């Protein structure tokens, strides 16, 4: 029997498109396809039943999230124009870490014109990634204005559905635009619970400490979704003032709130957060919580190591010039 690496690509496609059960291990052969392989994929894909296309693209999106080595971007790009909305959503989810700016235009088109609200929500989330890349200095600033303009226009259009408004507000949170703070404030004061939660999300994405007191206050919200969002936002704002209220949320009755609080502690760092996480690593019995604690401690360790290397480099420079 031939190994999966030796299996002819036509046989790989036949197994993926018609095999029962779906051979998950062969999905890796769709990574980094050649132009010839991509053409063969496109020809065969048109005949694949919709339920199977959904399963395949969702699996590819999940693999992309868990494995930084695979590259299914050509498949996701092709699936942005798929006739099925669930396939389009999975394709957008799979592009969560892309840096290919050629994708901005088709994703904007989906946000503006797709008939399915859920696709437009996913498109806004995909555009948020490009906004962040600009703010982090990983893309030139010229890419942000067209995206922000479209997001603002979508948010402020009267007939835009609330889920899409929420997604566009969240996408705008990190944008360097003078209108954004007012939008966040207006959404928070709107009385719409969904928009208020998205406003808190945007507060965290903005990394603007003006929102800290609001975020801390929402950690006592009766709504677990709001408490979880406030915990995540506090982690992005990075203030040690949040450590004490986050310690309370680690004991919250809602698992999602607990996980968000632990993640935030890993982002904030510092001795208090580190000591709390160490204690939790010895006390927590729930497997999901323990995994989150260990991940937060690992993030803290990487952050500390980065600063240690920076300090070492600065010391060497001082010695060189002494």
- pLDDT tens for 8-17 read 999 999 999 9
For a pLDDT cut of 90, what percent of the chain falls above it?
89
For a pLDDT cut of 70, what percent of the chain falls above it?
92
Q: What value does the mean pLDDT take over residues 20-48?
A: 96
Reply yes or no on whether the pLDDT at 315 is more than 90: no
The 10 Å Cβ neighbour count of residue 138 is 10
Q: Among 101, 207, 111, which residue's Cα sits nearest to residue 152?
A: 111
Long-range contacts of 214-217 (CB under 8 A, 24+ apart): 214/188, 215/242, 216/241, 216/242, 216/245
What is the spatial distance between Cα 21 and Cα 103, in angstroms, rounded to a whole number?
33
- pLDDT tens for 187-206 read 999 999 999 999 999 999 99
Reply yes or no on whether the pLDDT at 313 is more than 70: no
Q: pLDDT band for position 301 (50/70/90)?
A: confident
Domain boundaries, the chain: 7-98, 104-207, 241-322
Residues 6+ apart with CB under 8 A from 264: 231, 232, 234, 235, 242, 246
Reply yes or no on whether the pLDDT at 33 is more than 60: yes
For the domain spanning 241-322, the CATH number is 1.25.10
Reply yes or no on whether the pLDDT at 316 is more than 70: no
- pLDDT tens for 134-189 read 999 999 999 999 999 999 999 999 899 999 999 999 999 999 999 999 999 999 99
What confidence score (pLDDT) does residue 304 get? 63
Q: What value does the mean pLDDT take over residues 124-143?
A: 96
Reply yes or no on whether the pLDDT at 42 is more than 70: yes
What is the spatial distance between Cα 7 and Cα 123, in angstroms, rounded to a whole number?
36
Runs of H (alpha helix) within 46-142: 50-66, 73-79, 85-94, 104-113, 117-135
Reply yes or no on whether the pLDDT at 317 is more than 70: no
Give pTM, 2 decimals. Answer: 0.88
Q: Can you read off the two tokens belonging to residue 159?
A: 């007939």
Q: What value does the mean pLDDT take over residues 117-123?
A: 98
What confidence score (pLDDT) does residue 66 get? 86
- pLDDT tens for 209-245 read 999 999 999 999 999 999 999 999 999 999 999 999 9
115 CB burial (10 A radius; 0-12, 13-18, 19+)? exposed
Phi, psi of 107 (to 5 degrees): -70, -40
What confidence score (pLDDT) does residue 60 get? 98
Q: What value does the mean pLDDT take over residues 84-101?
A: 97
Reply yes or no on whether the pLDDT at 2 is more than 70: no
Q: pLDDT band for position 6 (50/70/90)?
A: confident
What is the spatial distance between Cα 292 and Cα 284, in angstroms, rounded to a whole number?
10
Count of positions (residues) in the chain: 322
Phi, psi of 141 (to 5 degrees): -60, -25
Reply yes or no on whether the pLDDT at 93 is more than 50: yes
Q: Can you read off the two tokens belonging to residue 47?
A: 């005949």
Reply yes or no on whether the pLDDT at 319 is more than 70: no
Long-range contacts of 184-192 (CB under 8 A, 24+ apart): 184/211, 188/214, 192/162
- DSSP label at 240? G
Q: pLDDT band for position 312 (50/70/90)?
A: very low
What confidence score (pLDDT) does residue 305 get? 54
Q: What value does the mean pLDDT take over residues 263-278?
A: 96
Q: Round the CA-based radius of gyration of the chain to a whole number and report it.
A: 22
């Amino acid at each position: 029997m031939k190994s999966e690496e030796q299996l002819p690509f036509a046989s790989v496609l036949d197994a993926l498109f018609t095999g029962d059960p779906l051979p998950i291990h062969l999905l890796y052969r769709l990574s980094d396809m050649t132009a010839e392989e991509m053409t063969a994929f496109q020809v065969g894909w048109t005949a694949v039943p919709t339920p199977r296309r959904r399963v395949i693209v969702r699996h590819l999106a999940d693999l992309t999230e868990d494995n930084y080595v695979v590259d299914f971007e050509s498949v996701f790009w092709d699936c942005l124009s798929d006739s099925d909305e669930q396939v389009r959503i999975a394709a957008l989810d799979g592009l969560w870490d892309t840096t290919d700016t050629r994708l901005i235009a088709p994703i904007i088109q989906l946000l503006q014109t797709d008939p399915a609200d859920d696709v437009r929500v996913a498109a806004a989330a995909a555009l948020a990634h490009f906004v962040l890349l600009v703010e982090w200095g990983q893309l030139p600033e010229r890419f942000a204005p067209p995206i922000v303009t479209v997001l603002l226009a979508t948010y402020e259009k009267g007939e835009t559905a609330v889920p899409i408004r929420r997604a566009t507000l969240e996408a705008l949170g990190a944008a360097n635009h003078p209108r954004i703070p007012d939008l966040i404030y207006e959404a928070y004061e709107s009385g719409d619970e969904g928009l208020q939660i998205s406003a808190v999300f945007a507060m965290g994405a903005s990394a603007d400490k003006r929102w800290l007191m609001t975020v801390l206050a929402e950690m006592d919200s009766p709504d677990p979704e709001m408490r979880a969002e406030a915990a995540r936002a506090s982690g992005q704002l990075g203030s040690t003032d949040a450590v004490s209220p986050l310690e309370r949320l680690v004991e919250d009755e809602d698992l999602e709130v607990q996980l968000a609080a632990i993640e935030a502690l890993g982002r904030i760092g510092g001795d208090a957060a580190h000591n709390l996480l160490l204690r939790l690593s010895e006390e927590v019995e729930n497997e999901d919580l323990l995994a989150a604690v260990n991940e937060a401690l690992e993030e803290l360790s990487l952050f500390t190591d980065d600063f240690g290397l920076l300090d070492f480099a600065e010391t060497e420079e001082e010695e060189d010039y002494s």
